[in-house]
Amino acid sequence: MTEWVLKGITSGIKTTHYPDKPETESGISPGLPDTTELNKVDTSVTQICPTGAINSYGYELRVDRNKCIHCFKCKYGIQRPVNWDKGYEWASVVKEAELGRSFEQSLHIRFVDAGACGACISELEQLNKPYYNMHRLGFFMTPSPREADILLVAGPVTDHMKAPLLKAYEAMPEPKRVIAIGACALSGGIFGPSFISGKGVNELIPVDIAIPGCPPPPLAIIHGLLLAVRHKEPAKGKVRQ
Amino acid sequence: MEKIAEGNTAEHAILLSERFSGTSAFAHSMALCHAIETISDIKVPERARYLRIIFAELERLRQHVNAITAICNSTGFSVAASQAGILEEELLRVSCHVTGHRYLFGLNTYGGLTIDVTEEAIKTILENVENIIKQLNRLERMLYRSNSFLDRLEGVGILPVHQAISYGVVGPVARASGINRDLRKALPYGGYENLEFIVPVEYDGDGYARLRVLFEEARQSANIIHNAANILPAGSTLSLNRKILSGSALSWVEAPRGAAFHWVDIGEDTRINRYRLTTPSFNNWNGFHRAAEKFAFQDFPIIMATFDLSTAESDR
C-alpha cells in the first residue's frame, strides 16, 4: 500500500484553479460560434447549420447557443468562418425569477440521463476526477432525489424517460432547481423534435439554468453550478427566442 | 434513431451516427462514412485513411482508460481511480488540442476528414500517448500487486466461452472469454491491413481477464498510433469527388466496445432511405446477466464495470 501513497503524493496537485483564476490550459473546451458581422462571413452558414442555430439579425449573425452542437460546419471547410468563442463560461439563467438565497451554500445534485448519448455523462464523470474535483466547491452527487437540491438533466427526454424524470422532479423537496446540460436537453439538438423525443427538458419541467454545448465541457458545467449558488455571473450575449 | 436518419441528408446522418454513443463517436461515424463511400465509389485520400486510424485508436485508448477508471472506482479503490482519471482527462485534452473537440465530434465526413493536422499536432499526440502509456504501465504493475483489488476481480463474473458465443458478445469482453475475434484483423478496413498489431486474448473470462485485455489493447492502440504516424503520407485529407450516388452498402468497424455494423440505403434523391446498425453494447448487455448470475450482490457493480456497458448504445 505504501507505493500507492507515494504515487499519490508524487502526482502533485492537478486540480484546476477555476473559479479563482481562469483556466488557460489548451484542450479544455471545444468552443462555440460567436456573434459575427455579416460582411466578415460567408452568409451561406445559415443554411449549412444543421440545427438552425445561426441566424442573421440586421448587420450581424447571431448564434443561438442552446442549439449549437459543435459540428464545426461554420468553422472548417468554408472561406470566411464565423468568430469562435474559445471560452467555457456559457451557462445562463432561463427563468427571470431570482434564484433566491437558499442556494448559496453546499448543494446536492441528482443526475438523470434522459436519453443522452454518453458524452454529457462522461463529462459529468470528469467532475469527480482530480482535474476538476467539484467536491472542493461544495457540490455532491447523490443517488436519491429525496435529498437533492438540484436536478441535472441531459438528453432530449425520450418517451421512456418522461415518467422517471417527472417522478424524480416531484420527489425532490422544495426549493429545487433544474439544470439542463447539453444541446439535446435544451433544444432537442441534432435529434430535434422527433417521433420519440421532444424539444428538450423545458417541455416537461421548468428549467432554471441552461448549460449549452455538445457536450458542455466540465468547466462549463461548473460555471452553471456556480451560477446556481450565485458565485458567478451568467454568460452574456445569449439570444432570447 | 435509425428512424430519425430516414429522409435526411448523408451529412446529417453522419452527425447522428456520432451521437449513437458519444464516447465512441469517431468509430461509429467512420463506419457510416465507409458505407457511404462504398456506395458512391469515393476514393478516400491515403492521408485521411491513416489519420482516421490515428483518431480511432486515440478514442479506443481513451475509452479503455475510462473503463479501467470505472473498474478501479467500482472496487472502491479511489487512489487508482484518480490516477487513471488523470490520464483520461489528459487524453481528452490532447484530442481537443489537436482536433478542436474533446470527443472527436464533427471530424468525419464522406470522402475524408474535415480538418488536416500539422506535423506538430502529430508530434503532440505521439508524445502524450507515449507518456500516458508509460504511466498506464506503471499503474498496471501496481494494480497487479494490490491483493485487495485483485480479490474483487479474480474469479468474479465468469463468462465461459460457450456462453460468450451463444450470446454473441463482442469486443474486449469476448476476447477475455477466449474468442479471438477483432474486425481490424478478421475483416481489415480502412488501412488496418497495412498495420501490424496483436489481438490480446485471455481464456479465464473473469473480471481480471477483462482488465488484462483492456490494458493490453490500450498498449496496442498506442503502437498502432505510432506506426500509422510513421507511414502517414502527405497530401489532402478530403476527396475532390464527393458526389453521392444511390444504392446500399454494409460497413463495419471495431469500436472501442466491440464490433459495430452499419448498413445504409441511399435513395435517388441522395437522402437516406433506411439506416440499420448493430452496436456492441447491445450484444454485451444480453450476455451480461450470465456473468452476474451466481455471484454475490456486492460484486454486481464490479462485474458491470468490467463489461464497460453503454446504455446509449442499446437505443438505436
Reply yes or no on whether the pLDDT at A155 is more than 80. yes
Q: What is the mean pLDDT of residues A90-119?
A: 81
Q: Is the Cβ pair B102, A120 closer than 8 Å? A: no
Share of chain A above pLDDT 70, in %: 95
Q: Cβ contact (<8 Å) for B12 and A50?
A: yes
pLDDT of residue B220: 94
d(CA A188, CA B116): 30
Mean pLDDT of all residues in chain A?
Answer: 85
Task: Report pLDDT digits (tens) over B124-134.
Answer: 999 999 999 99
Q: How confident is the model at residue A65 (pLDDT cuts 50, 70, 90)?
A: confident
Q: Is A13 exposed, middle or buried (0-12, 13-18, 19+ CB in 10 A)?
A: exposed
Q: Do B101 and A14 touch (CB under 8 A)?
A: no
Give the pLDDT score at B227: 93
B155 pLDDT more than 60: yes
Closest Cβ–Cβ partner in A1, A76, A115 for B114: A76
Whether residues A131 and B89 touch (CB distance < 8 A) is answered with yes
Answer whether B121 touches A (CB < 8 Å): no
Q: Angle at Cα B219 formed by Cα B217 and Cα B220, nearest 5°?
A: 60
d(CA A155, CA A194): 13
For residue range B210-250, what is the model confidence (pLDDT) as tens digits?
Answer: 999 999 999 999 999 999 999 999 988 998 888 999 999 99
Q: Please report the pLDDT score of residue B297 as a whole number.
A: 87
**Cβ-contact B202, B178 below 8 angstroms:** yes
Has residue A53 got a pLDDT over 90?
A: no
Average pLDDT over residues A121-148: 90
Following CA atoms B35, B40, B41, B45 in sequence, which dihedral angle do they give, to the nearest 10 degrees?
Answer: -70
What was the pLDDT predicted at A99? 60
> CA–CA separation, A106 vs A151, rounded Å?
14
CA dist B120 → A41, A118, B97, B117 (Å): 29, 31, 11, 8
Burial class for B251, CB neighbours closer than 10 Å (0-12, 13-18, 19+): buried
- The span from the CA of A217 to the CA of A182, in Å, is 10
pLDDT of res. A239: 41
CB contact under 8 A, A3 and B142: yes
Residue type, A130: P
Q: Does A87 touch chain B (CB under 8 A)?
A: no
Lowest mean pLDDT among A35-49, B77-91, B137-151: A35-49
pLDDT of residue B290 exceeding 70? yes
From chain B, pick out residues whose CB is under 8 angstroms from the CB of A221: none
B8: distance to nearest CA of chain A, Å? 11
- Which of B79, B89, B104, B107 to mutate to probe the A interface, most A CBs <10 Å? B89
**Average pLDDT rounded to a whole number, residues B62-85:** 92
B140 touching A (Cβ < 8 Å):
no
pLDDT of residue A96: 57
> Residue A190 and residue B142: Cβ atoms within 8 Å?
no
Per DSSP, the three-state class of A5 is helix
The answer to whether residue A241 scores a pLDDT higher than 60 is no
Nearest to B244 by CA among B270, B265, B263, B273: B270
Mean pLDDT computed over B295-305: 89
Amino acid type, B197: F
Best mutation target, B6, B63, B69, B103, to test chain A (most A CBs within 10 A): B103
